[in-house]
Structure 1
Amino acid sequence: MNGAHDLGGMHGLGPINPEPERKEPIFHAEWEKRALGLTLTAGWLGQWNIDISRFARERQHPVAYLSNSYYENWLTGLETLLVERGVISSEELAMGKAIDPAPKKLTDKCAPASAVQDILWTGGPCDLPTNDPKEFKIGDKIKVIQFNPAGHTRAPRYIRGHEGTICDYYGSFIFPDENAQGNKTGQHLYNVSFDGSQLWGDGNDTTIHVDLWQSYMEKL
């Protein structure tokens, strides 16, 4: 969807001045560690996937999204999913404590605390075969389709409608737009380069690379 989360490369937001990672702490407060841990371990309940989780954060009001810190957005997305999927009630969220016992379908999925670290380190595979033909090869000139989805997408807004060149092919992976709707399908994934002049006008000699799924593009 087009929202406050999709700001990369957009005009009017000023230059990016990143702080070197070696100087920036991983967490800026103790509660951020808990927000990360809760989000990752709650996913083990099997009530949503990573793209549904991302979309829950993106669905916030733009003012709220831009006002929140990084982990405040994570926490807001988690709270949204916990209530929507019936894991907790809105009353329990407001009170900060359980009122009714958790459904057995959820407690059966709970991992012991001793297993959590291994679960998080292991993660899960994202590759997924597809029977769809591969439409592009390295060196092909492409154009990103111009679309304004209502749901989740991994196609940044600022490259839509612009031309690029296929630089690499990774294989077939879970297509996030469908995965966010609960439909697990595979699609070919490519790396595409874009000239800065294509995106931001003459005089910009920047080259950027974006990973894009096949259905985002058409061949020139």
Structure 2
Amino acid sequence: MTRVHDMGGRFGDGPVVPEPEDVKFHADWHPRALALTLACGSLGLWNIDVSRHARESLAPKDYARFAYYEKWIAALADLLVEKGALSADELAAGQAQGESALAARRLEASAVADVLAKGGPADRPSNIAPRFGVGDVVRLRAMPENVAVAGGHTRLPSYAAGAMGHILRVHGTHVLPDSNAHGLGEAPEPLYAVALKAGDIWAHPEHPQDEVILDLWDSYLASP
């Protein structure tokens, strides 16, 4: 079953219109929304996969009408309450009721540049060896769903489910989002760049021989 955020290739949304590269934000509050999300992420109460799943879990009617950063702020508010960083009453009032126990974890302005430069690498050691090598033909899993958690987070887009492709690159072993988003551990698996022909995944591609490159985990793939 497709989820509201899995919009790739959906008919009727019109063409993708690239914006000029110098356009970063469309409203004055957008950079603050980004800053708040990054600062709250530094509290260590969730990981990037949990935050992505929170955005995907917004009510469909809200997801459809919210702009990009509105989704970020709505999901952030949900996470802050869910993880106990603040109460629903504090959120409604717009102010804290006493000092937070998390105050010592706040991201100081002087540390922001170093934190952003460090990033959040997701490569991890694993005892799972890659099953495929560069050039191998693979078939993507037919069901584009989280196989462990009903309605859970996954990075396998529905438009590519069941398609054939070939391995373009082996990235090593990386955190599996399907597990990490639900507190089930990082469960690192081999990660591959997989090339798919546009003509194999779209009904009426303008350029059928163009390639779509997806980063996909080992458990998403099978031998043809």
TM-score by length of 1: 0.92
Q: Hey, what's the Cα distance between the residues in 2 that align with 1:129 and 1:217?
A: 20
Select the residue among 110, 113, 120 that pairs with 1:117. 113
Partner of 1:210: 214
Query: What is the deviation of 1:161?
Result: 1.1
Partner residue in 1 for 2:200: 198
For residues 187-220 of structure 1, what are the alpha-carbon distances to aligned partners after superposition, in whole Å with 9 as ceiling and x for unaligned? 1111111111211236651321111111101011
**Aligned twin of 2:169:** 168
Separation (CA, whole Å) in 1 of partners of 2:212 and 2:181: 26
Q: Distance in 2 between matches of 1:124 and 1:186?
A: 15
Among 26, 29, 32, the alignment partner of 2:30 is 32
Q: Where does residue 144 of structure 1 map in the other structure?
A: 140
CA contact (8 A) 1:128 1:185 kept: no
Post-superposition Cα deviations, 1:23-71, rounded to whole Å, max 9, x if no partner, equal xx21111211111001011011110000000000000112211211111
> Number of paired residues?
216
Between the two structures, name the one with larger relative contact order (CA 8 Å, sep ≥ 6): 1
1:67-82 correspondence runs (5 A): 67-82=65-80
In the alignment, what sits opposite 2:223?
219
Aligned match of 2:52 in 51, 54, 57? 54
Whole-Å Cα distance in 1 between the matches of residues 2 and 135 of structure 2? 29
Residue of structure 1 in register with 2:103 after alignment:
107
TM-score for the superposition, normalised by structure 2: 0.90
Looking at structure 2, the residues matched to 87 and 77 of structure 1 have their Cα atoms a distance apart, in angstroms, of 14
**Structure 1 CA distance for aligned equivalents of residues 142 and 177 of structure 2:** 18
How far off its partner does 1:162 sit?
Answer: 1.0
Shifted more, 49-58 versus 195-204: the winner is 195-204
Cα-Cα RMSD: 1.6
